[in-house]
Amino acid sequence: MSFMSLQEFDALVGRMQLAFEYALNLGQPIGAAKVLFQMNEQLPDDLQLSLDDIDDENAVKSFISEYKPKIKSAIVEYRQRLMNY
């Protein structure tokens, strides 16, 4: 991952959060889970979560409920780092 400014990161994550919410609202949890994977990939290596692969559609909702708050927390931590640069 290349270094980006706080503004660039906020814009990117903002678009991803909209895509995540849009997918959920359309009843597409697999699409929402894919966005979580993409959000995780935008974080530096030391903040990235080791995400489990989703084996079946039944596991998607539990995947989202488990990892959404963890990724949100990692995003907040990375934002704080960017603010200190």
Tens-binned pLDDT, residue by residue, of the chain (85 aa): 557 899 999 999 999 999 999 999 999 999 999 999 999 999 999 999 998 888 777 899 999 999 999 999 999 999 999 998 7
pLDDT score at 2 = 57
Half-sphere exposure of 61 (CA within 13 A, CB side): 2
Specify whether the CB–CB gap between 49 and 71 falls below 8 A: yes
pTM for the full predicted model: 0.89
**How confident is the model at residue 58, as a pLDDT?**
84
Q: Exposure pattern of 62-71 as b/e (b: 16+ CB <10 Å)? A: ebbeebbeeb
User: What local confidence, expressed as pLDDT, does residue 82 receive?
Assistant: 93
